[in-house]
Amino acid sequence: MPRFQHTLIATALLAASSTYAATTSTSYEDIADSAAWQSADGQQSLLISSLEGDGISVYNASGKEIQHIEGIEALGADVRYGLRSKGGKKADIVAVGLPDEDAIAFYQINGKAKAPLTKVGRLPLEITPEGVCLGKNATSGDMFVASYDEAGNLVQYKLAFDGKQVISAIQHNGKPTFVRSMNVGGELSGCAMDDETNTLYVAEQNVGVWVYGADPENVKDRALLDVVEPLGHLEEIENLDIVYQAHGKGAIVIADEGQGFVLYDRVSHKFLGKFDVAGVEEAKLVSASTQQLWIGNTELDEPVYQTLSWNELEKLSGYKAENTLSPRELEIKGVELVRAHGETKAVDNHGDAADDPALWYNVESPKDSLIIATNKKGGLMAYDLQGNEIQYLEGGKPNNVDIRQDVIDADGNQIALAAASNRKKNTVTLYTIDGSSTPIKPLPATQGTVHPKAPELLSSVDEVYGLCMSRGEDSTPYVFVNGKDGQIEQWRISVKNGEAQGTVVRTLNVPSQPEGCVVDDRTQTLYVGEEDHAIWTFDARADGNTEGKVFAKVDGKHLIDDIEGLTLYQTTEQNLLIASSQGNNTYAAFDLNDQGKFVKSFAIIGDDERGTDGATDTDGIHAVSQNLGEEFPNGLFLAQDWYNIDSQYKTENQNFKIVDWRDIQAVLK
């Protein structure tokens, strides 16, 4: 027996000819691609196949042809569920490439016995499509179609449904506008989108399978799933699809003309093995349904699709496909959606730059309050509540920032004190904030442990990272700064004659790297996010117990690592701790009035009418409960946006999203 790897057989052959549960009843000279559809009640399934010059053929679960659409050249096919119109209507759709027309055709799947497909749209392209794939963000519900040409170009469009037609959601001068365009490389042979992980797979036939972020609001640097021999397990990639299973499990199935059918874990991307099917001379086409794999047997004199059951798959490969799902069932439940009300101007620096926001409250004119935020490649920004930049104070590499107002200095003056963790010098940098045209003003530290070359407080943590402030029971301001090794310093701050003094009063620890933190001044409780593991609580008092307690663990449901920003939303009625759950682009709310009970998670999505995008891979967050005027009477929520795009979905530098708290309150009920 061939060598076994990770419980899967590296190569296997069915000893005798397979007995197929279904074989398509008609044959066409060129079967190009296919996609499976499953009805909502699970009672119906269809195979929809593109046939090049012979159009489109639709088969039922037993392989009987029930519809044939002629008169078009069709390449590629993919299915997605529940494209929603503004009026609440939903459509299951199939997308098919029309190379003769440089377009994509959309058909609604109605499940009728004789004519299940009805044409509902045509999207003109700037390329000649060789293949298509559909994807739906499982959190936001946004749907996308991608198409590629023979020159390696790929374009992606966001889709909308007006109740009758599928159209491009983004238009410019009345014409459809792609939300992403790129040249992948050489000859492309297939693509697939994983809705749950927001991953786009693109097969470059003689090179390998590329991995991208599927959502244009969350585009990650591309990586390789695998490459051709001798460095990888592939040879000539023809097609691919995804087997979805419950609890985030599943497999990527690649049809490779030289290697047969190759399996990879869809989360870890680990190579699981490969197998051949007797009677299938060349592995070229594969489509996954919830019941089985449909395999295109293209080298027969009369090419057909044949099914491979999950039992047969297990016999051939050792891979057990149980609790399978369709993309219809991947919608992430329990996550409420709120739209971004506005956003700040993008930061000046490219890459990972924007990080953490705070707010200075203008007591005399609340609507003129200011967002104070960090550009960790260059300085601090002040924005008004419409997101316009008021000031950019260059200097250092501030990572996190926090503010305490109503601080009384030794001279009896009332000041707004801000602190930031400066990674350039491993210091805590202090500022005052006011309502002038240059609201951020450096506050020099001249006493205590001061950096030898700058008036800043020199930290002893290995690398300053997260930071938050508190006001002690006697109104003394404190700064908590943490390092990547888990050490947390608590500094007592005093101000006299326009200069600051800082003294470390104690140190705390969490087991591994923390970042986000926030202090509840009411209860003198410090909350610290240990990125990969848990939220911890500590006594925030300078003479308090240094032992921490776990408040909430990374559970893969409400908190998915990394835990990033932490913030509080506090009124006389509400007392919420909110955490940025970066692993699934959500924000988890916990009720501190009810022993920290989890309330709900929400995600920030874009508003195409306002021209704002959502927030993804968020670092810092900040909630404000004060009345900030007519626009934000119940306060607001601020979130750093890692992947920022403009109204035409063109990439911009990072920024901060602004959400009206009323929209969050509406979904937390």
Is it the case that residue 219 has pLDDT exceeding 80?
no
Phi-psi region of 6 (alpha: psi -120 to 50; beta: other; left: phi over 0): left
Q: In the 8-state DSSP scheme, what is residue 500?
A: E
User: CA 28 from chain center: how many Å?
Assistant: 41
CATH fold for domain 4-330: Neuraminidase (2.120.10)
> Using 50, 70 and 90 to split pLDDT, how confident is the model at 15?
very low
> Using 50, 70 and 90 to split pLDDT, how confident is the model at 17?
very low
Is it the case that residue 12 has pLDDT exceeding 50?
no
Is it the case that residue 434 has pLDDT exceeding 60?
yes
Pairwise CA distance, residues 432 & 159, whole Å: 47
pLDDT of residue 217: 84
pLDDT of residue 5: 31
Segment 384-412 shows an average pLDDT of 96
pLDDT of residue 334: 85
Which tokens in the block code for residue 606? 């874009």
Segment 154-164 shows an average pLDDT of 95
What is the share, in percent, of the chain residues with pLDDT greater than 90? Answer: 88
Pairwise CA distance, residues 5 & 9, whole Å: 6
pLDDT of residue 6: 31
Farthest-apart Cα atoms in the chain, separation? 94
- For the stretch 313-330, pLDDT in tens is 999 999 999 999 999 998
Closest CA to 443 of 500, 383, 482: 500
- Residue 509 neighbours by CB under 8 Å, 6+ apart: 486, 487, 488, 548
pLDDT of residue 19: 43
Q: What are the domain boundaries of the chain? A: 4-330, 335-668
Segment 357-362 shows an average pLDDT of 98
Is it the case that residue 176 has pLDDT exceeding 70?
yes
pTM: 0.86
pLDDT of residue 619: 96
Which tokens in the block code for residue 385? 């509540």
- Residue 250 neighbours by CB under 8 Å, 6+ apart: 242, 243, 244, 265, 266, 267
- Residue 650 neighbours by CB under 8 Å, 6+ apart: none
pLDDT of residue 557: 86
pLDDT of residue 154: 97
> Using 50, 70 and 90 to split pLDDT, how confident is the model at 111?
confident
- For the stretch 267-302, pLDDT in tens is 999 999 999 998 999 999 999 999 999 999 999 999
- Judge: domain 335-668, CATH 2.120.10.30: yes
* Residue 251 CB neighbours (<10 A): 25
4-330 and 335-668 in the same fold: yes
> Using 50, 70 and 90 to split pLDDT, how confident is the model at 16?
very low
Pairwise CA distance, residues 639 & 614, whole Å: 10
> Using 50, 70 and 90 to split pLDDT, how confident is the model at 249?
very high
- For the stretch 35-80, pLDDT in tens is 999 999 888 999 999 999 999 999 999 999 999 999 999 999 999 9
> Using 50, 70 and 90 to split pLDDT, how confident is the model at 648?
confident
Pairwise CA distance, residues 274 & 263, whole Å: 6
- Residue 5 neighbours by CB under 8 Å, 6+ apart: 271, 272, 273
> Using 50, 70 and 90 to split pLDDT, how confident is the model at 14?
very low
- For the stretch 456-469, pLDDT in tens is 999 999 999 999 99
Is it the case that residue 148 has pLDDT exceeding 80?
yes
Instruction: Give the lowest-confidence range in 10-19, 145-154, 244-253, 640-649.
Output: 10-19
Pairwise CA distance, residues 159 & 286, whole Å: 26
- Residue 669 neighbours by CB under 8 Å, 6+ apart: none
Cβ-contact 652, 349 below 8 angstroms: no
Is it the case that residue 581 has pLDDT exceeding 90?
yes
Pairwise CA distance, residues 444 & 161, whole Å: 57
pLDDT of residue 239: 97
pLDDT of residue 628: 98
* Residue 64 CB neighbours (<10 A): 12
Cβ-contact 135, 144 below 8 angstroms: yes
The mean predicted confidence, pLDDT, of the chain is 93
pLDDT of residue 3: 28
